Amino acid sequence: MSQFSYQDGVLHAEGVSLAAIAEQYGTPTYVYSKAQLLANFDSYQNACAGRDALVCYAMKANSNLAVLNLLARRGAGFDIVSGGELLRVIAAGGDAKKVIFSGVGKTVAEMRLALEHDILCFNVESIPELHRLNDVAGSMGKKARVSLRVNPNVDAKTHPYIATGLKANKFGVAYTDALETYRTAAKLPHLDVAGIDCHIGSQLLDDAPLLEALDRLIELIDQLDAEGIHLHHLDLGGGLGIDYGDEEDSAPVPVGDYLGRVFARIDAWRKERYDGKPIKVCFEPGRSIVGDTGVLVTRVEFLKHGEEKNFCIVDAAMNDMARPALYQAWMDMQPVVQSKADVATYDVVGPVCESGDWLARDRALSVEAGDLLAMKTAGAYGMTMASNYNTRGRAAELIVDGTQVHVVRQRENPADLFALESIIK
C-alpha cells in the first residue's frame, strides 16, 4: 500500500499535505515516507525469517544518513561501492561488520579503511584487485575476507546502462574464468575466501534472469567444493524493479515470491548435495527498498505553448533528477492539488541550459503556472545522482513520519557551492 495518496483532492505523504510542505520548505524538495521505507525493508526481512540471511541495502540508491539510520536500526547490512559510503554507514550508526564492499576500482586507501573497520567481505572483481587487496591486508597484518563477483553472462533484459551481468560489462569475473580466479585467491596468504557474489542488473520486473544466475552460481560452488574451496555465503545481489507507473511495463515480481523461489532452489540443492547443510545467503536490494518511498515536489514556473510542443517549465531539473535524461526513464508525474484546468499535453522540463533537461514527455496534465507537481517513485537514484550543474543548489530532503516532518538534508544555497573554491591572488 502506497503512503502517497489524495485526501480531499490534495496529495499527501502519510498524514501531511505535500502542498503544505511546499509552502513551508520550498521547492524542489524530496519527500520520503518513513512507513513506506520500513515496510519495503520488512518485506525482505520477513521473507528471510528463520534463515541465515543478511539483507545488505545497496546505499548508492539513496544514501541520506537518516535513511541509513532507520535501516540500520531495523537490522540492515549495507552494500557499498566507495570509502565515502563506508564512512556514511558509520556516521549513520550502521555496523561495519555487516558491510559488503563492491565496485571495480577500489583504491589502496579504501581497502585500508575497510580493513580497519573489519567489514564483512570484499566483493572482488578482478585478479589485479585480488593481488592489491592481498598486499594491503598483508601490510596491515590482517586477512581480508573475499568473495568473487562472478559475471554469469545472463541477460537481465534491462536498460544497457544498468545491465551488469553480460560479457561486455565492466563488472565481475567472467564465468569461464571464475574457477581459475578462485584457485588464485585461495593461494594468496592474506585472503580468506568466504563467498561468491553476482549482480546482473537493475530494474528487473521478472525474476527469471536472477534465478538463472543462481543456478550458474550453484554449479560453480559445487565445482569449487570438489577442489576443497568451501564457500560460506552466497550473495545474489539486488536488481528487483519497482512500478514507475508506465502502463507499458508489467508489474514487478513481489519480493516474497522471488525470495521464496530462491530459498526453495537453495534448500533442494543443499539437501541433495550437502545433507541439508545450510549456506548463508545475502541480498543487496536498493531501488526496491527506497524507490517508491519518495517523491520530488516541484513548482510550475511557466506554461509555454509552441507549434510542435507544449512545455511545462518547472523549478526542478536534470540536476535534481538525472534518470529521465540519462536513461530515458519514465516516471509518473501527478498534480499535488487536483485541478479543473484544461488538460493539455506537455513536456515537463527544467530551467537548466540543456535540451536534455526534461523530466517527462508527452504527458496529459491539468495544470497552471504556480501549481505543484509530484514526481513519483523518486526515492532511488534521485539525490544520489544530483549535481550542481548551472550552480544550482541541490534540493532539500524531508522524511514524513505520520504527521511529523523531519528535515534530513538542508537545501543548498549558492554560497555552499563555491565555499571550497578560491581565487588566485
Other C-beta atoms lying within 10 Å of the C-beta of residue 362: 10
pLDDT of residue 168: 52
pLDDT of residue 250: 66
Q: Verify whether residue 198 is a known catalytic residue.
A: no
Domain 103-283: give its CATH code. 3.20.20.10
Beta-carbon contacts of 178 under 8 Å, excluding residues fewer than 6 positions away, are: 148, 150, 220
Q: First and final CA of the chain: distance in angstroms?
A: 59
Tell whether 272 is in a known binding site. Answer: no
286 is in an annotated binding site: yes
Contact criterion met (CB below 8 Å) for 294 and 382 = yes
Residues 6+ apart with CB under 8 A from 85: 59, 60, 63, 78
Residues of the chain with pLDDT below 50 are 158-159, 161-166
Domain 4-31+291-417 coded CATH 2.40.37.10: yes
What local confidence, expressed as pLDDT, does residue 163 receive? 46
Task: Give tens-digit pLDDT for 269-293.
Answer: 999 999 999 999 999 999 999 999 9
SS3 state at 299: strand
Domain residue spans of the chain: 4-31+291-417, 103-283
pLDDT at 350 (0 to 100): 97
Give pTM, 2 decimals: 0.94
Which DSSP symbol is given to 258? Answer: H
Radius of gyration of the chain (CA): 23
57 belongs to an annotated ligand binding site: no
pLDDT value, residue 157: 55
Q: Which pLDDT score, from 0 to 100, does residue 165 have? A: 42
327 annotated as a binding-site residue: yes
DSSP-based three-state secondary structure for 34: helix
Given the residues 56, 198, 282, 353, the one annotated as active site: 353
